[in-house]
Structure 1
Amino acid sequence: MSETPDMTPDILCIGSVLWDIIGRSPAHMSTGADVPGRITRVPGGVALNIAMTLARFGLRPGLLSAVGRDAEGNDLVAACAAMGLGTAHLYRSDDLPTDRYMAIEAGNGLIAAIADAHSLEAAGGKILRALEDGRLGSAAAPWAGPVALDGNLTTGLLAEIAGSALFAAADLRIAPASPGKAERLLPLLSHPRATIYVNIEEAGLLCQRRFAGAAEAAAGLLERGARRVLVTDGGGACADGCAAGGEVITAAPRPVLVTRITGAGDTFMAAHLVAELRGAGRGAALAAALDAAASYVSGDIGT
């Protein structure tokens, strides 16, 4: 199956579209452990994880990313198209291989992960061509819908986006991709149309301090100039902070047996976005996002 040319997206998902290679074992693991388990290869990447969740909720996401013209890339594009995701505006490179992510998950959590998103970084601004050449928008008539943007883009490109006319009318929803890339979001932190989704570790990196909980982290990000932030803390209470009035609200996730971790934050973000697009208030949207993330980590929602 090839690219889907005719779909008009409801939302754009910009960032990593790659293969997730995940090794999972119910055993507790430490450095050097060698245990039996399962290894899977599934479509992944922050932008793609968000897009897949949005599609499950009935939206039509369009992908803006870099995917190679290698066999892995062709398989990945076919898988995305089969899920109803818009692939017509992907940058397909003859020279760059399809990106990959590898993680080891155990009974005691995420043991290690490596993100190989070098092709996305090398493609740079080429992935945004459809936003400037009239297919999805232009500087004179920018895209006016929601955009899910992830921090796998380079610091330079994220800084360009922060000041770009192409995003002047968009509802920007932004995730850092990983704690190691959190500080890439600094140019976008105070963007007037941005909502930032981070975990408590990423919030600490953006603020250069430690936080005792999600509510304190949300308040800290608002002090740094953020307009709107959502902060998660694993099984602890999550927070939604809004600069309009400086209000922070919190909610706790329901306890579940955790069977997987990779993609949980992306599911939370997508479910929250969908709830707000459907008119839910802040409290209801936060509750919906927590419920979707709990179902995901418990294995009740398919990959």
Structure 2
Amino acid sequence: MTEKTPDILCIGSVLWDVIGRTASHMRVGSDVPGRIHRLPGGVAMNIAMTLVRFGLRPALLSALGRDAEGDELAAEAERMGMTVDHLYRSEDLPTDIYMAIEGANGLIAAVADAHSLEQAGDKILRPMGDGRLGSAEAPWTGLVALDGNLTTELLAQIAGSDLFAHADLRVAPASPGKAERLLALMGHPTATLYVNLEEAGLLCHATFETSEAAARALVARGAHRALVTDGGRAATVATADTVFTQTPPEVLVTRVTGAGDTFMAAHIASEAEGMGAEAALSRALAAAATYVSGDNPL
């Protein structure tokens, strides 16, 4: 191992978020003053940013264009403490971007121009097999965070690949609409699924009243381990042998987007530090609660 060996690989969406925010209520056709911010985003990037705050050094595996936007994003990720040497830089694909408008009455509209990651396909995984992060003879055996922005085909390829057979996979859907993509990883011997109650229902084609019922159903369906959250209600961790539930701290909710990524990263970091299962869940719930309250998650 060298000093440059990352603590975890974050595989998935890395892009620019362009967010316009206003204190005004908005409707179709509104033209109001506000602020426009450009920030690093994408599920894999969001998880990596939280992991950095917990003291880990993640490596990003994603697709960026060889354009000014890609250069700036890679430089910003490196400045924050991430390893960017293994990013796939495309000559003909642009750097992905997500654009949203938020008013006092919530998210008004959003457009995700995130086609480059899907078009790059398994090119983003080359470092896993060419010796940089692993090979067929010596595959990566550490932590891997996967996000559901990867195509169903690529997730299925990862599920069946010897290059990931001994990795500690941590998997999250990018959104409820992409939750069913994770079905490809249901039988993987090391995969941990991080989902909310709605996403668990989509994966199981059922409706659940509690996180415990959902987590048990995911394990019965083939998940190695499932962590199911339900907003401010109890969250559950389930494996074939153990099931336990905890209730998150009560806080005033000021934001929700990004809470799942914070929860997942905090849980991964806690287990990486050697915390037991129940302590890791408690810390992750506390970090997510602090995040949604609008404070720093640490």
Same fold judged by TM-score > 0.5?
yes
Q: State the distance in 2 between where 1:133 and 1:231 align.
A: 35
State whether structure 2 residue 67 is matched by structure 1 residue 92. Answer: no
Aligned to 1:11: 8
State whether structure 2 residue 13 is matched by structure 1 residue 32. Answer: no
State whether structure 2 residue 265 is matched by structure 1 residue 270. Answer: yes
State whether structure 2 residue 291 is matched by structure 1 residue 296. Answer: yes
Distance 1:198-1:109 versus aligned 2 partners, 3 A rule? farther
State whether structure 2 residue 246 is matched by structure 1 residue 210. Answer: no
Give 1:271 deviation, angstroms: 0.3
Distance 1:20-1:129 versus aligned 2 partners, 3 A rule? same
Aligned to 1:21: 18
CA RMSD of aligned residues (A): 2.1
* Aligned mate of 1:239, from 213, 236, 246: 236
Q: What CA deviation, in whole Å up to 9, does each residue of 1:56-81 have, x standing for no partner?
A: 11111101000111111111111101
Are the aligned partners of 1:109 and 1:261 in contact in 2 as well (CA < 8 Å)? no
How many residues align? The count is 295
Q: What CA deviation, in whole Å up to 9, does each residue of 1:31-53 have, x standing for no partner?
A: 63846654322101111111111
SS, match of residue 133 in structure 2: coil
Are the aligned partners of 1:105 and 1:260 in contact in 2 as well (CA < 8 Å)? no
Are the aligned partners of 1:67 and 1:97 in contact in 2 as well (CA < 8 Å)? yes
Seq. identity, %? 68
* Aligned mate of 1:144, from 129, 141, 146: 141
Q: State the distance in 2 between where 1:111 and 1:211 align.
A: 29
State whether structure 2 residue 45 is matched by structure 1 residue 48. Answer: yes
SS, match of residue 258 in structure 1: coil
Q: State the distance in 1 between where 2:254 and 2:149 align.
A: 25
Give 1:106 deviation, angstroms: 5.4
Q: State the distance in 2 between where 1:287 and 1:112 align.
A: 34
The 10-residue stretch of structure 1 (232-241 or 7-16) with the greater mean CA deviation from structure 2: 232-241
The 10-residue stretch of structure 1 (43-52 or 260-269) with the greater mean CA deviation from structure 2: 260-269
Aligned to 1:227: 224
* Aligned mate of 1:75, from 69, 72, 75: 72
The 10-residue stretch of structure 1 (232-241 or 174-183) with the greater mean CA deviation from structure 2: 232-241
Gaps of 5+ in 2: none
**Amino acid across the alignment from 1:293:** A
Give 1:26 deviation, angstroms: 5.7
**Amino acid across the alignment from 1:32:** V
Are the aligned partners of 2:287 and 2:297 in contact in 1 as well (CA < 8 Å)? no
Give 1:150 deviation, angstroms: 0.7
Are the aligned partners of 2:288 and 2:297 in contact in 1 as well (CA < 8 Å)? no
- Taking structure 1 as the reference length, the TM-score comes to 0.91
Are the aligned partners of 2:214 and 2:228 in contact in 1 as well (CA < 8 Å)? yes
Aligned to 1:200: 197
Give 1:105 deviation, angstroms: 4.5
- Taking structure 2 as the reference length, the TM-score comes to 0.92
Q: State the distance in 1 between where 2:195 and 2:185 align.
A: 13
Q: State the distance in 2 between where 1:37 and 1:145 align.
A: 44
Q: State the distance in 2 between where 1:181 and 1:114 align.
A: 16
**Amino acid across the alignment from 2:232:** G
Distance 1:214-1:112 versus aligned 2 partners, 3 A rule? farther
* Aligned mate of 2:278, from 264, 267, 283: 283
State whether structure 2 residue 181 is matched by structure 1 residue 181. Answer: no
Q: State the distance in 2 between where 1:20 and 1:192 align.
A: 34
**Amino acid across the alignment from 1:292:** A
Are the aligned partners of 2:148 and 2:173 in contact in 1 as well (CA < 8 Å)? yes
State whether structure 2 residue 248 is matched by structure 1 residue 248. Answer: no
Give 1:107 deviation, angstroms: 5.6
Are the aligned partners of 1:182 and 1:202 in contact in 2 as well (CA < 8 Å)? yes
**Amino acid across the alignment from 1:274:** A
